[in-house]
Amino acid sequence: MKFRQATWRKSNEVLEPTVFELGVLGRGGTKIAEPDPDIISIVGETDELIPENMKRKEINLPGMAEPQVARHFSRLAQMNYGVDSGSYWLGSCTMKYNPKAAMRIASSDRVRRLHPFIPTEAAQHILRIMYELQEMLSSITGLPHYTLQPAAGAQGEFVGALIIRAKHLDEGERQRDEMIIPVSAHGSNFASAAMAGFRVIKVPTSSEGTIDIDALRAVVGERTAGIMITNPNTLGIFESDILEISDLIHSAGGLIYYDGANLNAILGWVRLSDMGVDVAHLNMHKTFAAPHGGGGPGAGAVGVTEDLKDFLPVPLIKKSGNKFYFDYNVPKTIGKIRTFYGNSEVLIKSWAYLKMIGTEGLRKVSSIAVLNANYARRKLVDYGYKVAYGKERPCKHEFVLTLEDLKEYGVRALDVAKALIDRGLHPPTIYFPLIVKEAFMMEPTESDSLEEIDEYVKAMKEIRELAMEDSEALKRAPKNSSVRRLDETLANRKPILTWRMYIKLKASR
Ligand SMILES: *Cc1c(COP(=O)(O)O)cnc(C)c1O
């Protein structure tokens, strides 16, 4: 195999080769130690322990010395973009900074080496972490009971929907098979409700960007199981009629599901229980500073009111005296929904974040996140960008622009996003929410400094000017990235995520 110099820095269209392409047969930098004679004397020759048909006869490992391995992975790391690289205004994703102290705690030996089958007596510290996290989430949201099992926001929604279903069935209300969801909701809401067996009833958004109350009133009835509501909604607007909405649903016998994936705007300012919420999920990997993206692990804690606690998944984490334990005695549980107890390593990071930041810190996080979003929105409006909905009122943690007016120059939201990449900035969420044409959904979070926000909006200003003067130049973006424009449909539908190692197995050597 020929050794190829990585060429991504020189030419745009050439990808960094994989280690298998870089490797040279026979080359290497590792010496494999001889087996320890003491161990062999105890267990015998390992060669004899492994059945013949399970032995690998040949393996095609890349031949590389350590410097080349180190350089390869450093190059890959440099090609990556994360919250530690720069601004990351990916709306609805709350790409906030992940404090290094929390990472250190989560990777310490005391928690890293725990095995899920360890007896609970030996796992008291991790149980305590999870118990305390539940308590902190309870005090933030006003919902008294929590499960930390769901591995993502969407799984939390599914759990919540199953709980709502179980509650109605328990009360003999079999006819409650309709889940109301605003059209601005995250796509996972519709999927979760449908997976839990509900018929999805959509309600439109008013010109203010909030739920159309009259339309809602028209669909509420005796088949209503509940509503799945996001507040602030995905347009970054607070549903100020929330109390009227929850009264309407409750008096019809339905329950309020709250999509709390992004709680950043209201932390410490308003509790979900005060909005009439019965069940909610919170994303640890957005609001609570655990890293995500790239398909990394998540955790979607689900909180419920006193009325719904008997339906939570088992086991629950409880405390008796000084001892923490798993409670499997939950009479009407919807069952177990995740192996072991959830993504505990993610939970540790959120626990550490909350412990470090405290109640006052949380309020400050919210205020700065909201201030940053309003500041950025105002600047962008000054530069000519259009706010999709609710431009007369302040936004919360995020806002949605519509770039439809650039179409007259032949420029689309996608082109503007690609141009941001050339300026070293991660583009925002585009084409979501679906109700906004040429949507540009921006969430600066509390992590960006004033200078960083100014830099981002300045880049947006320049791109807008370029769009009007030389739209063809925008169509050529990105030029400074390792790849240019991908076939995004193909990349989504047929991703190639592995390198096929063809291991040739021969009958005998
Ligand atoms: C991210 C998000 C979800 C889903 O969370 P996942 O962890 O990605 O499954 C649900 N609702 C909203 C509003 C979100 O932003």
281 three-state secondary structure: strand
Q: What's the average model confidence in pLDDT over 379-394?
A: 95
Q: Which range in 17-21, 110-114, 302-306 is most confidently predicted, on average pLDDT?
A: 302-306
408 occurs within a structural domain:
yes
**Cα 509 to middle of ligand 1, angstroms:** 52
| Pairing mode of beta strands 279-283, 224-229 | unpaired
pLDDT digits (tens, 9 = 90+) for 188-222: 999 999 999 999 999 999 999 999 999 999 999 99
Is there a single domain that holds both residue 392 and residue 410?
A: yes
Q: What's the average model confidence in pLDDT over 283-307?
A: 91
431 occurs within a structural domain:
yes
> What domain count does the chain have?
2
Q: Is a pLDDT exceeding 80 seen at residue 273? A: yes
Is there a single domain that holds both residue 368 and residue 334?
A: no
Order the strands of the 399-402 sheet from edge to edge: 386-387, 399-402, 439-442, 429-430
Q: Is the dihedral of CA 259, 261, 262, 267 positive or negative?
A: positive
Residue 413: domain span: 363-493
Q: Is a pLDDT exceeding 90 seen at residue 63? A: no
Q: Is a pLDDT exceeding 60 seen at residue 5? A: no
Q: Is the peptide bond between 232 and the residue preceding it cis, with omega within 30 degrees of 0?
A: yes
Q: How many residues does the chain have?
A: 509
Is there a single domain that holds both residue 348 and residue 403?
A: no
> Where is average pLDDT lowest: 44-48, 125-129, 238-242?
44-48
Is there a single domain that holds both residue 286 and residue 404?
A: no
Nearest to 290 by CA among 427, 94, 474: 94
pLDDT digits (tens, 9 = 90+) for 446-472: 999 999 999 999 999 999 999 999 999
- pLDDT at residue 509, rounded to an integer: 33
385 occurs within a structural domain:
yes
Q: Which atom of ligand 1 is nearest to the CA of 230?
A: 13
CATH of the domain at 466: 3.90.1150.10
- pLDDT at residue 501, rounded to an integer: 53
70 occurs within a structural domain:
no
Is there a single domain that holds both residue 386 and residue 345?
A: no
Q: What's the average model confidence in pLDDT over 144-173?
A: 97
The last residue of one of the domains, among 357, 381, 402, is: 357
Nearest to 292 by CA among 496, 87, 96: 96
305 occurs within a structural domain:
yes
Is there a single domain that holds both residue 299 and residue 188?
A: yes
Confidence band, pLDDT 50/70/90 cuts, at residue 355: very high
Is there a single domain that holds both residue 307 and residue 275?
A: yes
Is there a single domain that holds both residue 353 and residue 368?
A: no
Rounded Cα gap, residues 309 and 255, in angstroms: 14
Q: What angle do CA 152, 100, 147 make, to 5 degrees?
A: 30
Rounded Cα gap, residues 178 and 277, in angstroms: 18
Q: Which atom of ligand 1 is nearest to the CA of 152?
A: 7
Confidence band, pLDDT 50/70/90 cuts, at residue 409: very high
Confidence band, pLDDT 50/70/90 cuts, at residue 157: very high
Rounded Cα gap, residues 175 and 249, in angstroms: 15
Confidence band, pLDDT 50/70/90 cuts, at residue 10: very low
Q: Is a pLDDT exceeding 90 seen at residue 33? A: no
Q: Is a pLDDT exceeding 90 seen at residue 288? A: yes
444 occurs within a structural domain:
yes
Is there a single domain that holds both residue 368 and residue 342?
A: no
Is there a single domain that holds both residue 416 and residue 438?
A: yes
Q: What's the average model confidence in pLDDT over 103-131?
A: 92
The last residue of one of the domains, among 357, 379, 410, is: 357
**What percent of the chain clears pLDDT 90, i.e. is strictly above it?**
75
* Most ligand 1 atoms within 8 A of CB, residue of 183, 188, 263, 434 to mutate: 188
In eight-state DSSP terms, residue 284 is: T
- pLDDT at residue 506, rounded to an integer: 38
Q: Which atom of ligand 1 is nearest to the CA of 292?
A: 7
Q: What's the average model confidence in pLDDT over 292-320?
A: 92
500 occurs within a structural domain:
no
**Cα 92 to middle of ligand 1, angstroms:** 7
Rounded Cα gap, residues 250 and 181, in angstroms: 15
Confidence band, pLDDT 50/70/90 cuts, at residue 484: confident
Is there a single domain that holds both residue 316 and residue 421?
A: no
Residues 172 and 222 sit within 8 Å (Cβ to Cβ): no
**Cα 157 to middle of ligand 1, angstroms:** 9
Main-chain phi, psi angles of 407, to 5 degrees: -60, -30
Rounded Cα gap, residues 5 and 326, in angstroms: 54
CA distances from 459 to 95, 379, 417, 466, 475 (A): 19, 12, 11, 10, 16
CATH of the domain at 133: 3.40.640.10
186 occurs within a structural domain:
yes
Residues 413 and 430 sit within 8 Å (Cβ to Cβ): yes
Rounded Cα gap, residues 170 and 175, in angstroms: 12
Q: What's the average model confidence in pLDDT over 21-48?
A: 79
Q: What's the average model confidence in pLDDT over 69-90?
A: 91
Confidence band, pLDDT 50/70/90 cuts, at residue 294: low
Is there a single domain that holds both residue 427 and residue 468?
A: yes
Confidence band, pLDDT 50/70/90 cuts, at residue 508: very low
* Cα dihedral value 255, 256, 257, 259, nearest 10: 170
pTM here? 0.89
**Cα 234 to middle of ligand 1, angstroms:** 11
- pLDDT at residue 8, rounded to an integer: 37
Q: Is a pLDDT exceeding 50 seen at residue 6? A: no
Rounded Cα gap, residues 422 and 352, in angstroms: 36
Of all protein residues, the one whose alpha carbon is nearest to atom 15 of ligand 1 is 92
Which of 499-503's residues contact partners 24+ apart within 8 Å by CB, and which partners? 499/18, 499/20, 501/20, 501/59, 501/60, 502/60, 503/56, 503/58, 503/59, 503/60
Nearest to 196 by CA among 342, 335, 343, 339: 335
Pocket of ligand 1 (CB under 6 A): 92, 152-154, 186, 188, 230, 234, 259, 261-262, 283, 298, 300
CB atoms within 10 A of CB 53: 7
Confidence band, pLDDT 50/70/90 cuts, at residue 40: confident
Rounded Cα gap, residues 506 and 300, in angstroms: 47
Confidence band, pLDDT 50/70/90 cuts, at residue 505: very low
The last residue of one of the domains, among 310, 341, 357, is: 357
Residue type, 288: F
Confidence band, pLDDT 50/70/90 cuts, at residue 499: low
**For residues 214 and 487, which has the higher predicted lDDT (pLDDT)?**
214
DSSP string over 84-118: TTS-B-BTTS------HHHHHHHTSHHHHT--TTS
Confidence band, pLDDT 50/70/90 cuts, at residue 7: very low
Average confidence score pLDDT of the chain:
91
Sole residue written with tokens 């809401």: 189
The DSSP element (H or E) to which 154 belongs, if any, is helix 153-170
Q: What's the average model confidence in pLDDT over 434-439?
A: 96
Q: Which residues of 261-299 are buried (b: 16+ CB within 10 A; e: fewer)?
A: bbbbbbbbebebbebbbbbbbbbbbbbbbbbbeeeebbb
Q: What's the average model confidence in pLDDT over 308-325?
A: 97
- pLDDT at residue 106, rounded to an integer: 93
